[in-house]
Each structure stands twice: as structure tokens, then as C-alpha cells.
Structure 1
Amino acid sequence: MCGIAGVFYNQPKHLMDPQILVNMAAIMHHRGPDGYGYETINERGVGFSHARLSIIDLKGDRARQPFISADQRLMLAHNGEFYDFKRLRAELTADGAHFATKSDSEIVMQLYPRYGMLGMLPHLRGEFAFSLYDQAEDTLFLVRDRFGVKPLYYSITERGVVFGSELKVLFAHPEVEREFSDEGLYHQLIQTMVPGSTAFKGIHQVMPGHVVSIKRVHGKLHVEENKYWDMEFPLEHEHDKDDKRADEYVAGVRRELLEAVQHRLTADVPVGCYLSGGIDSCSILGLSAAANQEPVKAFTIGFDSAAYDETPIAREMAEATDADHHVMSLNSNDLYDHFEQTLWHTERTIYNTLGVAKYLMSQQVRDVGYKVVMTGEGADELFAGYPSFRKDLFMYGLDHLPPEERAQWQAMLEKNNQMFKGAMLAREEFVSDAFVAKVGFTPSCLQPWLSCSGFADKLLARERRERMQGYDAGKAIADTLDADMLAERHPLDKAQYVWTKTMLEGQILTWGGDRVDMANSMEARPAFLDHHLAEYAFKIPPHLRIRENKEKWVLREAMKGLLPETLYKREKFAFMAPPAHTDPVKWEAMRALSRKYLNKEAVESAGLLDHEEVNALFALHDADDAPAELQVQLDAVINHMLGVQILHKHFIATDVPAQAAERAKELNWHA
């Protein structure tokens, strides 16, 4: 797990400044504090740099990246992990390959010449983002893992392409523009990004499961994007309709998840587990404990609000597995005290301070000497765990139920979902014509955020608001989705597909995952997002994912022997921090930040928001008759308003290239 950066110029003879490459690595020192490297190829206009977090092959400079092949044809910089690499190394060695290191990264240097890029990728298992330059083809490849666990950004400048693991890495290069786009700003205010985009003009993300190929032809760069993997559910009529194979699916989930966990225990450093009160992380801990000879270190976040605290159940699971349990208890003011620093790492706005809690937890993981933890992200996406999935299944997939049974479902949904209204569920039904045309309905997971468009339309500064007249956020998102992956699919499959392409990649794996974990040099490994397990899960019939209104039924049954009875029977509880308005201390901490960043001078100086509308939104929130679900929704919008102002301060008002150069000087990292 590391950070990568690089430049590929459109003219081979453009001078490459190696110190800029080093500065780009230095500004993401948090991703790789164990060393750095850079390489350029003379007269080729290409250079890579790398900040290393040593987890596999710890011995000195032997695994120092970037790698250059013996024949000088290939240059590689890799962030993440390739699992099952020992088997691949053995097979390749038997075929005549020679390895200079014990690093998992080096397998790319042997697989690519044999299979080519698209032929190689099916062999790679894990969470990764990498850059590969092929001198023979004069082509740069930027590759991202199947679910987008690892980030990778790029920008096309007048002189070429600049890329890196974080936005600040690109901004450290003086040729990269630093400016909000109107559309990017708008989507920051409504939480959900357009897949492949960022908040900033001209800055793109490599899409999950995609390769961006940048080929140089006669001094011009030709950019091509190819998808190598997607969530391919069976057609609706191909799903099993009865329960005859239920036990087979239960056993299959258990088998595939255990294999995924075992692969992610591979490391030359200790591996711990994040532990909440949900069956996802508890399953990971249970399997890890069963596969280990020594007690597993488990890390839990506790909140001072009983309605949101899952510590009691986590303790029960830790005791059941003899885990070495570390609990971090957070007070109300802890979260907003660290809000600004968290956003420097997330590089996008956050609707809930869970991201801050995860940032603080990763500090504690690092402080007790751990670099790697396994996490439960992905289980809800594979096995239909979120409240929005149950709602969509009821609305669009259970229309055959008799009236009495539909009434029972309706009552259960109302009871279970009340807590999530305004955040994970919309206060009122929101219909996007673009999604209806593309999917057949507006997925419930997007409704609470698309419904924030009414606020965002007003909050934009006047000139930006005028330029955004008629903009349809739902259409912009829907247009990125592959219609072939949605056609003739079951409604639950469609809902899971949309969530994974939007909320998982743009939220959970970003500001709730990699960015706040790697902020403290800590690698998170989400075993549920192993693509072998995922491809098996896609085949599980919808009625075995949600059964008798119980989410993740097949996973519950698969893990039944590992889970305490209270947890096995417990309904899904979305792990999130208490909204600001629920606690006066937290609310005051948020208002203190607002006085700093949302005052008239600050707002008008940034030119992003309309100060009068900012005040009007606070007044709406504070009205005596404001319903709780509206306050929850406006809490999120307030966090986003704070977020865009903070992002402006750190990435636009600040001279990031100078900041990166100063950081390199402090670290004594030099070309």
C-alpha cells in the first residue's frame, strides 16, 4: 500500500524536473512514510514517483519503486495489494521468469509481456491502482481495481498528463489547474458525485474496473478508456426461483468469504480487524480468529450517543473470539475539532462525521503499531444490506404479494427506516426522469441526495447559479451507467448496481475508507470486495439476499456459527456518527466552524456560495417547526457547505506546489 505519481509529456524531449516528481511523492508522505523513489526515462518524456508503506518484502531498498524492467521497456508504480501472488510467482518462475524482489507488485512486470494489458488483468486479484509505461508502445496505462478501493486521478495539461493517488499530488505539479468546476461544486453540495469526476475542473478519476490508455502519436496524446470488469448480474429470468439450492448458496458464501479473508491475512506485518456491531465486520473477525494461531487485534469506534453506539455488541463479539479489543470512545466535540484536517485528506465533502471518526481511529491503529486491518465494507453491496434495498425490493420487486403481506412489509419498513430518513432514505419520494428511463425507477439510495438539488440550486454563487440553469444531476449520473448491465435485471440487482457505482466508490471507499485510513499510513483490506466472492454473490437469487424482510439472509446463515445470537438476529444498523443537531455540544462545535468558514467575508472571497442563501438554510434548519428528518438532511448540506469552503482554502487559496516543495525539504526527500 503506497502512493503513486507521474508525468507523461506529449513531447518526448520536454524537460522532466525530477524534483517535482519527488515533491509529488512528499505531499502524500502519509501514504508511504517508509521511503520514496522516482525514475525517469531519458528522451521519453515520462517520469514516475512513489511513496512506500512497507507491508510485503520489508528488506530495505530491494522492493523500492518505481520498477524498471531489465530491458528498459517497462516502468511500473503500484499502490495496493495483489493477492495470490506467490502462486503466480511460482508459475511464472517455472516458465522462465526472473524476479528481483519478493514484492507482489513485480508480477505485473512478468504478466504484461506475456498477456498484454487486457489479458493480464483477469490474473490480478486484490485492491490496486497502478501506472505502467510501455516504451515499445509509447503508451501510459492507468489501471484501477474492480470496485475502486484504491484511488487514481489524472489531468490533461497543455504539455501532457499528470496523475497520482490523491488530488493534492496532481496539484503539487505547477502545470495542473486548481479550480472548482460548476458541476463538481454542485455535486459536492448534494453528496453524490458523477462517477469518474471530481470537484475540480479538468481532474478525472480512473473509473473502477477500467484502464485508461494514453498513447503518444506524433506529439499528440490519444486517450482511450476501456472497461475490463463489471458487476454482471444474471438476467432476471435466469435467477433461481425456489429454495432448493439455499443450502448450497449458504455453503458457497462461507467458502468464498473464507478464501478472501485468508488471502488478506497475507502480510509481513500483523493484520488486525475493524469491528463494529454489524455482522459484516463480526464475520471478518470470526473468520480471521479461526484462521490465526494468535489473538486478533480488533478496533472499535464508540460514540457517546446510545442510539448510534455499537460498542456493546462489538465487545460481545470480541469476547467470543478472544480478540485483543481496542475501543476508541468519541465525545461530541471530538468530531468537528478534526473536521478540517479530515477534509484535507478526503479531498471531497462529507455528509456525516463518520469520516472524521474513521480518521481518528486510524490514528490509534497506527499508534499501537498496526499498518493493516481488514474491514467489512462491501457486504451490504453484495448481499443487499441497506434500508434502501429493502424499500426498492418492496416497491418494484414484490408487486405479486397479496395485500395482507404487502401491508406487513410496509409496516416493517416504516418501523425499520424511521431513523434513516433525511440521510440514507429520502424524506419524500423523489423521481428522476433520467433514472426512470435508464433503470425503470429512481433507486432509493440516490433519492435523499438528488432531493438536495433544491437547496444546491439556491446555494451556488449567482454567476455559477446562472451557468447551471437547467442542469440535471440525475441525468449526469445516470448517463455514466452501462445500460447493458441494467437491462432485463431484477429490481434488487439494479438497485445494488447503482449503489455500488455511486455510493460505494464515491463515498464509502473514499472518505469512509482509503483516504482516512491512509491519512495515518494504515492499509484497509475489504475482504467482501474480493472479485471472486463478488462474482459468486451476483448469482445468488434476490429472495435469498432479503428473506422475510431480513437483509443479508444468506450471509447470516453462512456465518451463523460464528456470530453471537443477539447479532445473528439483529437487523441492519447503518454505521454512522450522530448528526450534529442531536447534541448541543456537537452543534456548537459545528457552528464554530461555520462562523469561521461561512461568514460573509469568507463566502464572498471564495466565490462558491451565496451568503444570503447560506443564512436562509440555517434559518430553515433552526425553525421551531422543523421536523427531525429535515434537520438530518440539512445537517448534511451544512457539512457540504463547510466542506467546499475548506477545500477552497486548502487546494485553491493555498500554493500547493510550494507546500509540496516545503514538505520534501522537511523530509529531506530530493532528486
Structure 2
Amino acid sequence: MCGITGFWNPHRTNERDLRFTLDGMLDVLDHRGPDDRGSRFYADKGLALGHTRLSIVGLDHGHQPIASKTGDYAVTVNGELYGYKRIRTQLACESLECDGKSDSAISLPLYLKHGLKFVDHLRGEFAIVLYDQKENRLILVRDRFGVKPLYYAVNERGVVWGSEVKSILKHPDVPVKLCPQAAVHQMMQVMVPGSTAFEGVQALQPGHMLIVQMQSGRLETRTQRWWDFTFPTSHESHPDPTEYVQGVQDRLIDAVATRLEADVPVGCYLSGGIDSCSILGLATTLQQSPIKAFTIAFDSDAYDESSIAKRMAERTGAEQELLRLTEKELYGPAFERATWHAERTFYNTLAVAKWHMSRRVRACNYKAVITGEGSDELFGGYPFFKRDWLGREGEGGIFAGAILAEEDLHHDAWQDLCGFTPSWMQPWMLVLDRVKPLWSDSIRDMLQTYDPVAEVAAAIDSEQVRGRHALDVSQYTWSKTMLEGQILTWGGDRMDMANSMEARPAFLDHHLAEYATTIPPEIRIRNGVEKWVLREAMVNVLPRELYEREKFAFMAPPAHTDPVKRNAVQEMIDHWITPERVQAVGLFDYDSITKFIADAWHEQDTTLARRNDIIINHTLQLHMLHGQYVEEMPLPAVD
């Protein structure tokens, strides 16, 4: 697990300048890799590769960049490549040696053997940048689901890349400016796949590679998809569930066993949900010794599930580290730091809670944990998946206003794409409607010709949803947008790596994921029970209470639920949302937004109150991002 960054500018060939620029880009990635730092330059080409290392595999043998003996090839890797010992042995039998004993060392010889198809032979979570001097090309690769981040900026001067946007913004050829269109998307929570909060900076999409080729004295770029989360156009009729239950169990055991391999201790994140409890139960049996489990507890019974997590820890004999969080931890300096690390806004302070948790993990001298992300995407766990197939059930409870809409909405672009408007998109459409009166004149003018809801739909490959079951369509569209843009970024990698800690989501192992797409919908969700096939696969691992429990919302308590939290948010608003900064950012009308916030604290409708909280969080953070990145305000210390 590391940070990677660099640039290729054929017109910058002074090695001293290259070093100075790269050092500044590496400095802001130090949290991703405090154990080692490396760089490699092809000064005559204007190319620089940089790496910061968090040592987890091959502790003393993992320096990067890794170069071939001739120097014609060089690579930097962020992430974990599983099964590397077997692959390294196979390569050695073919006289293709790996330089070093870390997992990353297999990437270069695999490329020399297979060319661009080397990615098909990789298992794990990774972002890779590889330079091929013989072909005069640079290759950026991102893993199948986007667990590991990778961003880039392309302009007439060249290409710049980094594990985090902040490293790209340190390059002198990349101006620092918030993107107005992206700001609209952040307010409605749903980013366009491949976009970021900053103008000119893009995210390499999951399962894609960016190929940069020198042609006739200039750099040409193209993207190429090498993997996708593909559902079949038809499923087995009247399937026997036994086969699928066993298939999930076998593959999940293998995925967890694979992710326990490391040269440092590996712990587990543990909530009160089926996913993390399954991971802990399997990891305990596989390791044949107690696992360290890390749990977040909130000061609100409606949002806290730590009691179930505690019972699971006791059942497995795990040593549980319980972190209790109140408004003192969720707002103020920690909120600001989480925003800086996220590089985008988040609707709920769960991101801040995750930041605190990764900090606690490192304080306990752990560098890696296995997590439960991805299970809902594979097995239909979210309530909006069930709604798209089976219709409405109940009123949504604490989901209402946050991830479920209280009314049915339709949008032409989504109707054309999917045949329906996915339920996961609908609450964010309501948020967007509620924000409309708050925009500045310039944003109102932009929205006359820019439809953010349609833009998200336009980014989805229609061939991957055409002719599919409604559940498949809902799972696919969510996975191509919110899984990568939310759960795996501000809910995952960015908060974990903020404190130099690696998360390993076992459910997103591609062997398990590819199998999950073949499971018929009526086995994923059976008799209205979400993730039925996983429950059955884990029936002897989970406590009966958890096996029978309905999906729970893992969110932090919103500010409106507690006057102390409201006051904590208001303090940040008073500091960040000033007339001068609102004018400088240019997204909102100051009088409108301040009146909205004042009125929001008195909202009695709980659904609208949750929606107001979302809007306040996003608005606050957009001005915070401007202060942190454009104005370059220093980050506060956290006790």
C-alpha cells in the first residue's frame, strides 16, 4: 500500500527541476507511505516517477520505483497483488526474474511476458503506473472496482498523475480551481464517473487503463477498459440454491484467506452487520487464533450497532478495540482534516468516524485490516435494490431522506437507459431540487444547459444494462457510480490511508464478484430477504440474531438529532461560510444559503431534516475545500 505520483512533460528536461517538482508532489502523499520514498527520472524525456511506501509485504525488499536491469522499463505500484509467490515462481521457471521479494515485483515481468494483458493476471487492489521506454509509452492502470485511487490531468504540456488529487495540484502545470459542474454533483452526492471536484483533473475509472503514447513529438492519450462488472442477459430458471450457497462460501473463504497474507499483523473492521461479522468469523477460523477487531460506536441508539459487534467479538474470541465517538470527535478539526483527505464533500460524518478509526488502528500498531465493503453490491443488500425489483416496503425508517426517496421520481435519461429510474438515484434528485433556490446566478445560468442527473446516466455503458434483470441493472449502475465515488473513496481508502493504514475488502475479490453476477436474483434476494445467499453461506458463522436481522444503516448520527451536534456544525459554518468566501467560491447566494441553514435547524419533518443535514454538510465542505486548496489555508491540529 503506497502513494504513487509523477508526470511526463517532454518540454521539461532539466533534472533538477524535475526533482524539485516531484518532491513537492511526494510530500503531500507522505501519509500514504511513511516507510520509504523513491523516485526515478528519464530526464531527456521529461518523465518522473515517484513512490511513497507503506511496507506490508516484503518489509525490507520493496523499494520503488522498480526498474528493469537495462532501465528500459520502470513501474510504481500502489496496493496489494495477491498470489504473488506462485506467480513469481512461475516466472522464474521461464527465466523472468522479479526484482525484489515484494508482491509489487511481479508486475514488470508479467508486463514483459503479456504486454497490456498483464493486468488480467493480477488479483487484488491496485493502481499501477508503468513506463515502457522501448515503446515510448506510459500505462496507468486501476483495479477492477477502483479500491485503489488513481487520478490524472492531461493538457497541452503533458500528463500528471497521482494516488490523490492533491499531489497533482502541486504540479506547476495544473491550476487549482474547483469545478462548478462537479460542485453541483457533490451537492447531490453523485459524481459523474471519472470526474473530480477540481477542474482539469480526472479519475481513472475502475477496470480501465490510460495509455499515453509519444507520437510525432507529442503525447497522445487513450483510455481502454480491461474489465467490467458484467451481468448475464439471462439467469438460470428454477435454480437450486444449494449450489450457489456453496459457491459463495468457497469463494469468500478463499478471498479472506488470501487477504490474511502479510508480513505484518492483519486485523478486521467490525460493525454489527452481516458483512464484517462474516469476515471476522472466517478470519478467526483461518488464522486459528484471535483476531484484533476494530469497532466504531456512536452516541445514538438509532445509529449504533456496536452491541451486536461486541457479541460477535465475544463469539470469536476477538480482541475488540471499541472507539466511542461524540460530536467532539465528529466535527471541528477532525471534520476539516477528513475533508482535506477526501478531496470532495461527503453527506454524513461517517467519513470522519472512519478517519478516527484508522487513526486508532495505527495507534494499536496495525497497518492492515480486512473489511466488508462490496457485499451489498454483490448480493443485493441495499434497500433501494430491493425496491427496484420488488417495490416499496414500509416508509424507509432512518433511510428516508438519506438513501431512500419518499416519493417515486422519474428522469427521461434514466428511463431511456434502464427502463426505470433507479431508486438509489431518486433521493439525490430530491436533494438537488431542494438546493435550486440557493444557487448563485452563474450556477443557475449553467444549469439552463447542464442536466447533472442526465450526465451521470450518460456515463453508464448502455450495453451493460440492456436486457438485464432490474436487480442487475440497479446493482450495476450503483457500482459504477456510488461504490467507487463514495464508499471506496471518502468511506474507504482516503480515510484509511490518511493514517497510513491499508484496508482489504474481501468481497471485492474478482473471483467472488464474477461468480456473484451469475447468481439468480431470486437467490440473492429470497422471499424479500436481502443477501439471502450470503446469510445461508454464513449461517454457521453468524449469531442467530444477526443472521435474521434486516439491513441496518451504517451511518453516523446526523447533526439535527442532537442540539450539541447542531452547535458544533454552526461553529464551522460561522468560520467557513463568510460573505467574502461565498463570493470567492461563487456557487451560492449568501443570503439564500444562510437563511436556509437558519431555517433548517427548526425543521420538524425528520425526512426533510436529514435532507437538510446533507445540504449543509456539502455546502460547508465546498467552502472548506476552497479554503484548503485554493486559498491554501493550513490544517488544524487534532488532539
TM-score range, shorter chain: over 0.9
Question: Which amino acid in structure 2 is aligned with residue 63 of structure 1?
Answer: G
Gapped runs of 5+ residues in structure 2? none
Counterpart-to-counterpart distance in 2, 1:252 and 1:535 = 11
Q: What is the CA distance between 1:429 and its match in structure 2?
A: 2.1
> SS at 1:76's partner residue?
strand
Mapping of 1:109-258 within 5 angstroms? 109-117=108-116, 119-235=117-233, 238-243=234-239, 245-258=240-253
CA-to-aligned-CA distance 1:62-101 (integer Å, 9 cap, x gap): 3211111112111111100101111111111111112231
- In the alignment, is the contact (CA less than 8 A) between 2:149 and 2:164 conserved in 1? yes
Q: In the alignment, what sits opposite 1:369?
A: 365
Q: What is the CA distance between 1:41 and its match in structure 2?
A: 1.4
| Alignment match of 1:596 (pick from 566, 569, 575) | 575
Question: Which amino acid in structure 1 is aligned with residue 366 of structure 2?
Answer: Y
| Alignment match of 1:268 (pick from 252, 263, 270) | 263
- In the alignment, is the contact (CA less than 8 A) between 2:560 and 2:601 conserved in 1? no
- In the alignment, is the contact (CA less than 8 A) between 2:566 and 2:601 conserved in 1? no
| Alignment match of 1:381 (pick from 377, 380, 386) | 377
- Select between 553-562 and 135-144 the one with higher mean Cα deviation: 135-144
Counterpart-to-counterpart distance in 2, 1:333 and 1:393 = 41
- In the alignment, is the contact (CA less than 8 A) between 2:183 and 2:622 conserved in 1? yes
Counterpart-to-counterpart distance in 1, 2:43 and 2:178 = 35
- Select between 513-522 and 174-183 the one with higher mean Cα deviation: 174-183
Question: Which amino acid in structure 1 is aligned with residue 83 of structure 2?
Answer: D
- In the alignment, is the contact (CA less than 8 A) between 2:131 and 2:139 conserved in 1? yes
- In the alignment, is the contact (CA less than 8 A) between 1:10 and 1:216 conserved in 2? no
Mapping of 1:423-462 within 5 angstroms? 423-462=402-441
Gapped runs of 5+ residues in structure 1? 396-409, 660-671
Q: Residue 64 in 1 paired to residue 63 in 2?
A: yes
- In the alignment, is the contact (CA less than 8 A) between 1:22 and 1:37 conserved in 2? no
Q: In the alignment, what sits opposite 2:88?
A: 89
Q: What is the CA distance between 1:546 and its match in structure 2?
A: 0.8
Q: What is the CA distance between 1:471 and its match in structure 2?
A: 1.6
- In the alignment, is the contact (CA less than 8 A) between 1:458 and 1:465 conserved in 2? no
Counterpart-to-counterpart distance in 2, 1:489 and 1:593 = 46
CA-to-aligned-CA distance 1:467-489 (integer Å, 9 cap, x gap): 33232111111111111110100
Sequence identity of aligned pairs in percent? 48
Counterpart-to-counterpart distance in 2, 1:100 and 1:485 = 39
Mapping of 1:198-597 within 5 angstroms? 198-235=196-233, 238-243=234-239, 245-337=240-332, 338-395=334-391, 410=392, 413-414=393-394, 417-597=396-576
Q: What is the CA distance between 1:14 and its match in structure 2?
A: 6.3
Mapping of 1:16-31 within 5 angstroms? 16-31=17-32
CA-to-aligned-CA distance 1:90-122 (integer Å, 9 cap, x gap): 1111111122310111111101111111x2111
Q: What is the CA distance between 1:428 and its match in structure 2?
A: 2.3
- In the alignment, is the contact (CA less than 8 A) between 1:186 and 1:460 conserved in 2? no
Counterpart-to-counterpart distance in 2, 1:617 and 1:255 = 52
Q: What is the CA distance between 1:418 and its match in structure 2?
A: 2.2
Length-normalised TM-score, structure 1: 0.92
Question: Which amino acid in structure 1 is aligned with residue 263 of structure 2?
Answer: D
Q: In the alignment, what sits opposite 1:667?
A: none
- Select between 214-223 and 126-135 the one with higher mean Cα deviation: 214-223
Aligned length: 633
Counterpart-to-counterpart distance in 1, 2:309 and 2:174 = 45
CA-to-aligned-CA distance 1:623-648 (integer Å, 9 cap, x gap): 45x41101101100100001100100
CA-to-aligned-CA distance 1:154-184 (integer Å, 9 cap, x gap): 1113321110001110111121111112211
Q: In the alignment, what sits opposite 1:74?
A: 73
Question: Which amino acid in structure 1 is aligned with residue 409 of structure 2?
Answer: F
Q: In the alignment, what sits opposite 1:630?
A: 608
Counterpart-to-counterpart distance in 1, 2:430 and 2:82 = 41
- In the alignment, is the contact (CA less than 8 A) between 1:450 and 1:473 conserved in 2? no
Q: What is the CA distance between 1:457 and its match in structure 2?
A: 3.2
Length-normalised TM-score, structure 2: 0.97
Q: What is the CA distance between 1:442 and its match in structure 2?
A: 0.8
Q: In the alignment, what sits opposite 1:649?
A: 627
- In the alignment, is the contact (CA less than 8 A) between 2:7 and 2:161 conserved in 1? yes
Q: In the alignment, what sits opposite 1:402?
A: none
> SS at 2:518's partner residue?
coil
Question: Which amino acid in structure 1 is aligned with residue 126 of structure 2?
Answer: F
Counterpart-to-counterpart distance in 1, 2:200 and 2:410 = 30
Counterpart-to-counterpart distance in 2, 1:380 and 1:26 = 36
Q: What is the CA distance between 1:12 and its match in structure 2?
A: 7.4
Q: What is the CA distance between 1:620 and its match in structure 2?
A: 4.3
Q: In the alignment, what sits opposite 2:37?
A: 36
Counterpart-to-counterpart distance in 1, 2:601 and 2:353 = 26
- In the alignment, is the contact (CA less than 8 A) between 1:186 and 1:456 conserved in 2? no
Question: Which amino acid in structure 2 is aligned with residue 300 of structure 1?
Answer: T
